[in-house]
Amino acid sequence: MKKIIVSGGAGFIGSHLVDALLKNPNLQVTCIDNFDSFYHESLKRKNIENHLTNTNYRLIEADICDFQFLNEHLDNHYDCIIHLAAKAGVRPSLEDPLDYQRVNVVGTQSMLEIARNKSVKKFVFASSSSVYGINENFPWSEDIFDLKPISPYASSKIAGEWLGKCYSEVYKMSFTALRFFTVYGPRQRPDLAINKFVSLIQNNKPITLFGNGSTSRDYTFIDDVIQGILKAIEYNDKMFDIFNLGNSYPIQLSEMLLTIEAAIGEKAKIIYEPDQVGDVPATLADISKSHKILGYQPTTSFMSGIEQFIKWRAHQE
Protein backbone atom coordinates (compact mmCIF):
# COMPACT_ATOMS: atom_id res chain seq x y z
CA MET A 1 0.00 0.00 0.00
CA LYS A 2 1.31 3.45 -0.97
CA LYS A 3 1.65 6.12 1.71
CA ILE A 4 1.27 9.83 0.98
CA ILE A 5 1.67 12.93 3.14
CA VAL A 6 -0.45 15.99 2.36
CA SER A 7 0.61 19.10 4.27
CA GLY A 8 -2.16 21.65 4.57
CA GLY A 9 -4.60 18.81 3.99
CA ALA A 10 -7.47 20.47 5.86
CA GLY A 11 -7.44 23.58 3.69
CA PHE A 12 -9.26 24.43 0.48
CA ILE A 13 -7.08 22.65 -2.07
CA GLY A 14 -5.70 20.12 0.40
CA SER A 15 -9.07 18.75 1.52
CA HIS A 16 -10.21 18.32 -2.08
CA LEU A 17 -6.98 16.49 -2.85
CA VAL A 18 -7.46 14.18 0.13
CA ASP A 19 -11.02 13.49 -1.10
CA ALA A 20 -9.56 12.31 -4.41
CA LEU A 21 -6.71 10.29 -2.87
CA LEU A 22 -8.99 8.42 -0.46
CA LYS A 23 -11.04 7.11 -3.38
CA ASN A 24 -8.11 4.75 -3.94
CA PRO A 25 -8.31 1.96 -1.33
CA ASN A 26 -4.61 1.23 -1.84
CA LEU A 27 -3.49 4.64 -0.57
CA GLN A 28 -2.87 5.73 3.01
CA VAL A 29 -3.03 9.49 3.49
CA THR A 30 -1.42 11.38 6.36
CA CYS A 31 -2.66 14.96 6.68
CA ILE A 32 -0.50 17.55 8.44
CA ASP A 33 -2.30 20.75 9.41
CA ASN A 34 -1.99 23.25 12.25
CA PHE A 35 -5.42 24.84 11.62
CA ASP A 36 -3.87 28.27 11.28
CA SER A 37 -6.07 31.15 12.44
CA PHE A 38 -5.87 32.99 9.09
CA TYR A 39 -9.52 31.98 8.76
CA HIS A 40 -11.81 30.18 11.18
CA GLU A 41 -10.69 26.73 12.29
CA SER A 42 -14.27 25.40 12.14
CA LEU A 43 -14.29 25.70 8.34
CA LYS A 44 -11.22 23.48 8.03
CA ARG A 45 -12.60 21.03 10.59
CA LYS A 46 -15.70 20.74 8.44
CA ASN A 47 -13.55 20.11 5.34
CA ILE A 48 -12.16 16.92 6.87
CA GLU A 49 -15.23 15.53 8.67
CA ASN A 50 -15.60 12.66 6.21
CA HIS A 51 -11.87 11.94 6.17
CA LEU A 52 -11.74 11.21 9.89
CA THR A 53 -13.90 8.10 9.53
CA ASN A 54 -11.69 6.59 6.83
CA THR A 55 -9.25 3.95 8.11
CA ASN A 56 -6.71 4.99 5.46
CA TYR A 57 -6.57 8.53 6.85
CA ARG A 58 -4.44 9.94 9.65
CA LEU A 59 -4.43 13.51 10.95
CA ILE A 60 -1.37 15.05 12.59
CA GLU A 61 -2.01 18.50 14.06
CA ALA A 62 1.34 20.24 13.86
CA ASP A 63 3.25 23.21 12.51
CA ILE A 64 5.30 22.29 9.43
CA CYS A 65 8.21 24.28 10.92
CA ASP A 66 8.37 21.88 13.87
CA PHE A 67 10.74 19.39 12.27
CA GLN A 68 11.54 17.48 15.46
CA PHE A 69 7.89 16.82 16.27
CA LEU A 70 7.07 15.70 12.74
CA ASN A 71 10.15 13.54 12.46
CA GLU A 72 9.17 11.72 15.66
CA HIS A 73 5.47 11.27 14.89
CA LEU A 74 5.61 10.33 11.21
CA ASP A 75 6.30 6.81 10.01
CA ASN A 76 9.68 5.83 8.59
CA HIS A 77 8.76 5.69 4.94
CA TYR A 78 6.42 7.45 2.52
CA ASP A 79 6.10 7.31 -1.24
CA CYS A 80 5.24 10.98 -1.80
CA ILE A 81 4.85 14.31 -0.02
CA ILE A 82 2.42 16.86 -1.46
CA HIS A 83 3.36 20.10 0.23
CA LEU A 84 0.41 22.51 0.14
CA ALA A 85 0.73 24.09 3.60
CA ALA A 86 1.66 27.77 3.49
CA LYS A 87 0.78 31.25 4.64
CA ALA A 88 -1.47 32.34 1.79
CA GLY A 89 -2.27 35.70 0.24
CA VAL A 90 -0.34 38.51 -1.40
CA ARG A 91 -1.72 41.45 0.60
CA PRO A 92 -1.35 39.86 4.07
CA SER A 93 2.28 39.02 3.28
CA LEU A 94 3.02 42.74 2.97
CA GLU A 95 1.76 43.20 6.53
CA ASP A 96 3.60 40.25 8.08
CA PRO A 97 6.55 39.33 5.84
CA LEU A 98 8.59 37.68 8.61
CA ASP A 99 5.96 35.05 9.34
CA TYR A 100 5.52 34.38 5.63
CA GLN A 101 9.26 33.78 5.42
CA ARG A 102 9.13 31.46 8.44
CA VAL A 103 6.23 29.31 7.27
CA ASN A 104 6.71 29.31 3.52
CA VAL A 105 10.50 29.04 3.37
CA VAL A 106 11.59 27.47 6.67
CA GLY A 107 8.46 25.29 6.63
CA THR A 108 9.24 24.06 3.12
CA GLN A 109 12.83 23.35 4.19
CA SER A 110 11.44 21.36 7.13
CA MET A 111 9.19 19.27 4.86
CA LEU A 112 12.10 18.62 2.49
CA GLU A 113 14.15 17.42 5.46
CA ILE A 114 11.28 15.12 6.43
CA ALA A 115 11.34 13.78 2.87
CA ARG A 116 15.09 13.20 3.11
CA ASN A 117 14.86 11.47 6.51
CA LYS A 118 11.90 9.31 5.54
CA SER A 119 13.36 8.21 2.18
CA VAL A 120 10.65 9.97 0.17
CA LYS A 121 11.52 9.95 -3.50
CA LYS A 122 8.71 12.20 -4.78
CA PHE A 123 7.93 15.74 -3.58
CA VAL A 124 5.16 17.87 -5.11
CA PHE A 125 5.26 21.56 -4.16
CA ALA A 126 2.41 24.08 -4.36
CA SER A 127 3.89 27.15 -5.96
CA SER A 128 1.98 30.12 -7.33
CA SER A 129 1.40 32.24 -10.42
CA SER A 130 2.47 35.19 -8.27
CA VAL A 131 6.12 34.25 -8.92
CA TYR A 132 5.81 35.81 -12.38
CA GLY A 133 4.99 39.20 -10.87
CA ILE A 134 4.35 42.06 -13.28
CA ASN A 135 5.36 40.49 -16.55
CA GLU A 136 3.74 41.46 -19.85
CA ASN A 137 5.16 38.47 -21.72
CA PHE A 138 1.74 36.74 -21.93
CA PRO A 139 0.87 33.95 -21.65
CA TRP A 140 3.29 33.10 -18.86
CA SER A 141 5.28 29.95 -19.54
CA GLU A 142 7.53 27.96 -17.26
CA ASP A 143 10.62 28.90 -19.26
CA ILE A 144 10.34 32.57 -18.24
CA PHE A 145 13.39 32.93 -16.00
CA ASP A 146 13.12 36.68 -15.42
CA LEU A 147 10.67 36.38 -12.54
CA LYS A 148 9.51 39.67 -11.04
CA PRO A 149 7.86 39.06 -7.66
CA ILE A 150 6.26 42.08 -6.01
CA SER A 151 5.25 40.60 -2.66
CA PRO A 152 6.92 38.61 0.14
CA TYR A 153 4.43 35.81 -0.62
CA ALA A 154 5.62 35.55 -4.22
CA SER A 155 9.27 35.65 -3.16
CA SER A 156 8.66 32.87 -0.63
CA LYS A 157 7.25 30.65 -3.37
CA ILE A 158 10.29 31.23 -5.57
CA ALA A 159 12.47 30.31 -2.59
CA GLY A 160 10.50 27.07 -2.18
CA GLU A 161 11.08 26.16 -5.82
CA TRP A 162 14.81 26.73 -5.48
CA LEU A 163 15.03 24.72 -2.29
CA GLY A 164 13.43 21.90 -4.24
CA LYS A 165 15.99 22.35 -7.00
CA CYS A 166 18.76 21.96 -4.42
CA TYR A 167 17.28 18.80 -2.88
CA SER A 168 16.65 17.21 -6.26
CA GLU A 169 20.28 17.77 -7.21
CA VAL A 170 21.94 16.84 -3.91
CA TYR A 171 19.65 14.09 -2.60
CA LYS A 172 18.27 12.71 -5.89
CA MET A 173 14.69 13.51 -4.90
CA SER A 174 12.10 14.05 -7.62
CA PHE A 175 10.70 17.55 -7.07
CA THR A 176 7.77 18.91 -9.07
CA ALA A 177 6.59 22.49 -8.54
CA LEU A 178 3.04 23.37 -9.58
CA ARG A 179 2.27 27.04 -10.17
CA PHE A 180 -1.43 27.45 -9.34
CA PHE A 181 -3.42 30.20 -11.06
CA THR A 182 -6.24 31.69 -8.90
CA VAL A 183 -7.97 28.51 -7.78
CA TYR A 184 -11.66 28.81 -6.89
CA GLY A 185 -14.60 26.55 -6.07
CA PRO A 186 -16.34 24.92 -3.09
CA ARG A 187 -14.47 25.37 0.24
CA GLN A 188 -12.62 28.43 -1.09
CA ARG A 189 -11.10 30.60 1.62
CA PRO A 190 -13.51 33.29 2.86
CA ASP A 191 -10.99 36.07 2.23
CA LEU A 192 -10.82 35.44 -1.52
CA ALA A 193 -12.71 37.66 -3.96
CA ILE A 194 -15.31 35.23 -5.31
CA ASN A 195 -16.32 34.03 -1.85
CA LYS A 196 -16.41 37.58 -0.47
CA PHE A 197 -18.39 38.97 -3.42
CA VAL A 198 -21.04 36.24 -3.28
CA SER A 199 -21.46 36.74 0.46
CA LEU A 200 -21.72 40.53 0.20
CA ILE A 201 -24.24 40.45 -2.66
CA GLN A 202 -26.40 37.88 -0.90
CA ASN A 203 -26.35 40.00 2.27
CA ASN A 204 -27.11 43.22 0.37
CA LYS A 205 -23.80 44.81 1.35
CA PRO A 206 -21.51 46.89 -0.90
CA ILE A 207 -18.46 45.43 -2.64
CA THR A 208 -15.17 47.33 -2.69
CA LEU A 209 -13.45 47.07 -6.08
CA PHE A 210 -9.80 48.10 -6.27
CA GLY A 211 -9.01 49.78 -9.58
CA ASN A 212 -11.42 50.21 -12.48
CA GLY A 213 -12.36 46.53 -12.89
CA SER A 214 -9.99 45.88 -15.78
CA THR A 215 -7.57 43.66 -13.87
CA SER A 216 -7.83 40.03 -14.93
CA ARG A 217 -7.10 36.61 -13.48
CA ASP A 218 -6.73 33.14 -14.94
CA TYR A 219 -9.38 31.55 -12.70
CA THR A 220 -8.95 27.78 -12.38
CA PHE A 221 -11.64 25.52 -10.94
CA ILE A 222 -10.65 23.28 -8.04
CA ASP A 223 -11.52 20.00 -9.82
CA ASP A 224 -9.18 20.91 -12.68
CA VAL A 225 -6.34 21.71 -10.29
CA ILE A 226 -6.82 18.40 -8.45
CA GLN A 227 -6.62 16.60 -11.78
CA GLY A 228 -3.27 18.29 -12.38
CA ILE A 229 -1.90 17.44 -8.93
CA LEU A 230 -2.83 13.77 -9.32
CA LYS A 231 -1.01 13.64 -12.65
CA ALA A 232 2.03 15.37 -11.14
CA ILE A 233 2.27 12.70 -8.42
CA GLU A 234 2.91 10.11 -11.12
CA TYR A 235 5.38 12.27 -13.07
CA ASN A 236 9.03 11.24 -12.80
CA ASP A 237 10.59 12.07 -16.17
CA LYS A 238 12.82 14.77 -14.66
CA MET A 239 14.24 15.09 -11.17
CA PHE A 240 13.21 18.76 -11.11
CA ASP A 241 10.41 20.32 -13.10
CA ILE A 242 7.85 23.12 -12.99
CA PHE A 243 4.32 23.16 -14.41
CA ASN A 244 1.61 25.79 -14.68
CA LEU A 245 -1.86 24.70 -13.57
CA GLY A 246 -4.18 27.34 -14.93
CA ASN A 247 -7.16 27.66 -17.24
CA SER A 248 -5.47 29.74 -19.94
CA TYR A 249 -8.54 31.99 -20.18
CA PRO A 250 -8.37 35.38 -18.43
CA ILE A 251 -11.45 36.83 -16.74
CA GLN A 252 -11.60 40.56 -16.00
CA LEU A 253 -12.70 41.63 -12.53
CA SER A 254 -15.76 43.34 -14.02
CA GLU A 255 -16.66 40.17 -15.96
CA MET A 256 -16.21 38.06 -12.84
CA LEU A 257 -18.65 40.27 -10.98
CA LEU A 258 -21.20 40.15 -13.82
CA THR A 259 -20.97 36.35 -13.84
CA ILE A 260 -21.63 36.19 -10.11
CA GLU A 261 -24.57 38.61 -10.44
CA ALA A 262 -26.06 36.47 -13.23
CA ALA A 263 -25.65 33.27 -11.22
CA ILE A 264 -27.22 34.77 -8.08
CA GLY A 265 -29.82 36.85 -9.86
CA GLU A 266 -28.97 40.02 -7.92
CA LYS A 267 -27.01 43.20 -8.65
CA ALA A 268 -24.02 44.29 -6.61
CA LYS A 269 -23.53 47.63 -4.88
CA ILE A 270 -20.01 48.79 -5.72
CA ILE A 271 -17.52 51.13 -4.04
CA TYR A 272 -14.40 51.89 -6.09
CA GLU A 273 -10.98 52.30 -4.47
CA PRO A 274 -7.45 52.77 -5.94
CA ASP A 275 -5.32 49.77 -6.91
CA GLN A 276 -3.65 48.00 -3.99
CA VAL A 277 0.08 47.52 -3.53
CA GLY A 278 1.21 43.98 -4.37
CA ASP A 279 -1.56 43.22 -6.86
CA VAL A 280 -0.58 42.39 -10.43
CA PRO A 281 -2.75 43.75 -13.27
CA ALA A 282 -3.20 40.39 -15.00
CA THR A 283 -2.32 36.70 -14.92
CA LEU A 284 -2.49 34.24 -17.80
CA ALA A 285 -1.05 30.72 -17.88
CA ASP A 286 0.55 28.97 -20.80
CA ILE A 287 -0.54 25.39 -20.06
CA SER A 288 0.86 23.80 -23.22
CA LYS A 289 3.70 22.12 -21.28
CA SER A 290 1.33 20.76 -18.62
CA HIS A 291 -1.00 19.50 -21.32
CA LYS A 292 1.73 17.86 -23.38
CA ILE A 293 3.68 16.23 -20.54
CA LEU A 294 1.13 15.67 -17.76
CA GLY A 295 -1.99 15.35 -19.88
CA TYR A 296 -3.49 18.24 -17.91
CA GLN A 297 -6.70 19.62 -19.42
CA PRO A 298 -9.06 21.98 -17.57
CA THR A 299 -12.71 21.36 -18.48
CA THR A 300 -14.78 23.62 -16.20
CA SER A 301 -16.13 26.87 -17.65
CA PHE A 302 -16.11 29.93 -15.41
CA MET A 303 -19.92 30.13 -15.29
CA SER A 304 -20.19 26.45 -14.40
CA GLY A 305 -17.56 26.85 -11.69
CA ILE A 306 -19.35 29.86 -10.19
CA GLU A 307 -22.67 28.01 -10.22
CA GLN A 308 -21.09 25.03 -8.43
CA PHE A 309 -19.57 27.37 -5.84
CA ILE A 310 -22.89 29.13 -5.16
CA LYS A 311 -24.68 25.79 -4.88
CA TRP A 312 -22.07 24.65 -2.33
CA ARG A 313 -22.46 27.88 -0.32
CA ALA A 314 -26.22 27.41 -0.18
CA HIS A 315 -25.71 24.08 1.58
CA GLN A 316 -23.42 25.67 4.20
CA GLU A 317 -26.10 28.01 5.51
Q: Which residues are catalytic?
A: 153
What is the Cβ-side half-sphere exposure of residue 29, based on CA atoms within 13 angstroms? 28
Determine how many CB atoms are found less than 10 A away from the CB of residue 297. 12
Distance in angstroms (rounded) separating the CA atoms of residues 130 and 254? 21
Question: 208 - beta bridge partners?
Answer: 271
Return d(Cα 255, Cα 257) in angstroms, integer.
5
Q: Which of 223, 224, 231 is nearest to 248 (CA)?
A: 224
Cβ-based neighbour number of residue 10 at 10 Å: 26
Residues 18 and 51 sit within 8 Å (Cβ to Cβ): yes
User: Which residues have CB under 8 Å from 61's CB, separation 6+?
Assistant: 33, 34, 35
- 59 in Cβ contact with 74 (< 8 Å): no
